[in-house]
């Protein structure tokens, strides 16, 4: 594959996941990833600060999606409906390819403390984006924080169930079911 072919970021992600699965995260070098992707190390470092960032390249897109979901909620939506629309839009952007990637990535994340630490930062960034969007719509700070935590907990729990499932249920269906479950549990406290 030539260096100038499109989708360098996607090629780097596929190459990184393959190599991480084959050799482990720590044993894989950026040079190996670039070579497997048919790119130069210069191109890799032009796109990403390090090999860890290849895996988390969609973080900005995900935070933008959750904000957009809150902003596009129906006029007059209450705080909970704003949060639900945020996680609905976020989860609705995931495809079957994302599910396949999750199945490869989950064991790699579990085996790497460095990647796990970065995953925690990503989760925090998405939670903060949801909270900020809720605050921007006039939701009081305490409620915005609780709803953001609940929404992103539902998103991640739904994502885990979706990746593990062998059925046609969408991520959005898993996430919204998890929102309902968490809201029910909170009402019993």
Q: Tell me: do 45 and 90 sit in the same domain.
A: no
Q: Tell me: do 43 and 79 sit in the same domain.
A: no
How far are the Cα atoms of 39, 65, 105, 138 from residue 69, in angstroms, in the given order?
35, 6, 26, 15
Please give the tally of structural domains in the chain: 2
Residue 5: per-residue pLDDT:
55
Neighbours of 62 (CB within 10 A): 20
Taking a C-beta distance cutoff of 8 angstroms, is the pair 76, 85 a contact?
no
Q: Tell me: do 47 and 64 sit in the same domain.
A: no
Average pLDDT per consecutive 10 residues, the chain (189 residues; last block may be shorter):
68 95 95 96 95 93 97 96 98 94 93 94 97 98 98 97 95 97 90
Instruction: Please check whether residue 152 lies inside any domain of the structure.
Output: yes
Residue 3: per-residue pLDDT:
47
pTM listed for this prediction? 0.91
Q: Tell me: do 19 and 76 sit in the same domain.
A: no
Q: Tell me: do 111 and 135 sit in the same domain.
A: yes
Q: Tell me: do 101 and 12 sit in the same domain.
A: no
For 142, the token pair is 């305490």
For 43, the token pair is 């191109």
Q: Tell me: do 92 and 166 sit in the same domain.
A: yes
Taking a C-beta distance cutoff of 8 angstroms, is the pair 12, 34 a contact?
yes
Residue 62: per-residue pLDDT:
96
Instruction: Return the CATH number at 64.
Output: 1.10.357.10
**Nearest CA among 58, 185, 164 for reference residue 107:** 164
Instruction: Return the CATH number at 34.
Output: 1.10.10.60
Phi-psi label, residue 75: left if phi above 0, alpha if psi -120 to 50, beta otherwise: beta
Domain with 135 in it: 58-187
How far are the Cα atoms of 8, 12, 17, 64 from residue 48, in angstroms, in the given order?
11, 10, 15, 19
Rounded CA-CA distance 25/143 in Å is 39
Instruction: Please check whether residue 2 lies inside any domain of the structure.
Output: no
Q: Tell me: do 101 and 170 sit in the same domain.
A: yes
């Amino acid at each position: 594959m030539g260096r100038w072919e499109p989708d360098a970021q996607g090629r780097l992600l596929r190459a990184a996941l393959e190599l991480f699965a084959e050799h482990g995260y720590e044993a894989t070098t950026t040079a190996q990833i670039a070579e497997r992707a048919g790119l130069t190390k210069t191109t890799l470092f032009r796109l990403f600060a390090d090999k860890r960032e290849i895996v988390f390249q969609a973080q900005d897109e995900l935070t933008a999606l959750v904000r957009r979901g809150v902003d596009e909620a129906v006029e007059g939506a209450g705080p909970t409906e704003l949060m639900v629309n945020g996680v609905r839009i976020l989860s609705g952007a995931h495809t079957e390819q994302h599910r396949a990637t999750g199945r490869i990535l989950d064991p790699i994340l579990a085996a790497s403390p460095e990647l796990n630490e970065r995953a925690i930062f990503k989760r925090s960034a998405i939670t903060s984006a949801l909270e900020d969007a809720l605050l921007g719509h006039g939701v009081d700070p305490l409620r915005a924080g609780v709803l953001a935590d609940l929404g992103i907990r539902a998103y991640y729990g739904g994502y885990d169930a979706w990746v593990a499932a062998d059925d046609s249920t969408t991520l959005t269906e898993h996430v919204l079911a998890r929102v309902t479950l968490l809201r029910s549990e909170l009402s019993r406290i």
